[in-house]
Amino acid sequence: MEDFVRLFGSLLTLVYHCFDRIVILGHLPLLTRPENIVHFFRDVHGVGTITKEVLRQRTTEYNQWVEAFARNHRIPIEWAEKGVRKEDYVRPWLRRMERQGRYGVYFILKSMEIGTSFRSTMPKYPTADPNYRILSRQRSRYAHYYFYVRDPVLGPIALCVGSFLPFSITYYLNGHHFIEQQLRRAGVEFRKDDNAFLWVADQKTLQAAADALSAKIIRTRLEYWTLWWARSSPRKTVRPSTSAVVTRCSRWSIAAT
């Protein structure tokens, strides 16, 4: 960075430091291990034999809920096109939300991706429990749903949720979107092209807005949308884990650029 400023400093109109793209991986604590799945089905829902059909039923119910949610709220839901940047594709719907001054989910994209799931197999040798099945984690390819959300604090964010147990969630947000919300609230004029600020009336306010983004703010807003998802999803699919999601918000793994 120092070399860049030394070579092109005369061409720079402003310099600021901020988080750009932030990716956060979330896991529902009560659905991450085989023993958790056994407890979920046997003790919570009274399912004795956890077969592959039982596991598949959870995915079927979840898929049906997503389709119904999109239909009831008139939210577009489509398969993502190969080679097309997702954020660019949904941007017209985001702009419509901004013009209407509304917040919430504005688009859902479906994408076939690799993720964690569970498989159920019969034991190789007879056991005393006829309902006994071997549950193991695996990596497989299945549908993931991208919920594109306009948040009043973070700005545009996306929640990518797998359609198979353990329903892992990946959150995508951007520091520049947060800064934009802060500047608008402060009444500071600016020019922005996609993900870059070209001009700001008050550079000190710009840096202050960037510095205001904290782990507490991110956690609070993502917990809000995680709770919304858990409460809205089919009751027998993920709701028993809602309290764990809210109080611990699972385990966070952050990658920021």
The pLDDT tens digits of the residues spanning 183-230 come to 999 999 999 888 888 899 999 999 999 999 999 999 999 989 988 888
| Residue 217, CA distances (Å) to 73, 100, 137, 154 in order | 28, 25, 33, 8
What was the pLDDT predicted at 45? Answer: 87
- Percentage of the residues of the chain whose pLDDT score is greater than 70: 91
Region 138-156 average pLDDT? 97
CA gap 19, 230 in Å, rounded:
28
The pLDDT tens digits of the residues spanning 214-227 come to 999 999 999 899 88
Phi-psi region of 208 (alpha: psi -120 to 50; beta: other; left: phi over 0): alpha
Helical segments of 11-123, H only: 34-38, 52-72, 86-100
**Are the CB atoms for 195 and 173 separated by under 8 Å?**
no
Higher pLDDT, 36 or 147: 147
CA gap 168, 170 in Å, rounded:
7
Residue 129 has, within 13 A of its CA and on its CB side, a CA count of: 9
CA gap 53, 69 in Å, rounded:
24
Higher pLDDT, 11 or 130: 130
pLDDT value at 246 more than 50? no
Lowest-pLDDT choice from 160-174, 177-191, 220-234:
220-234
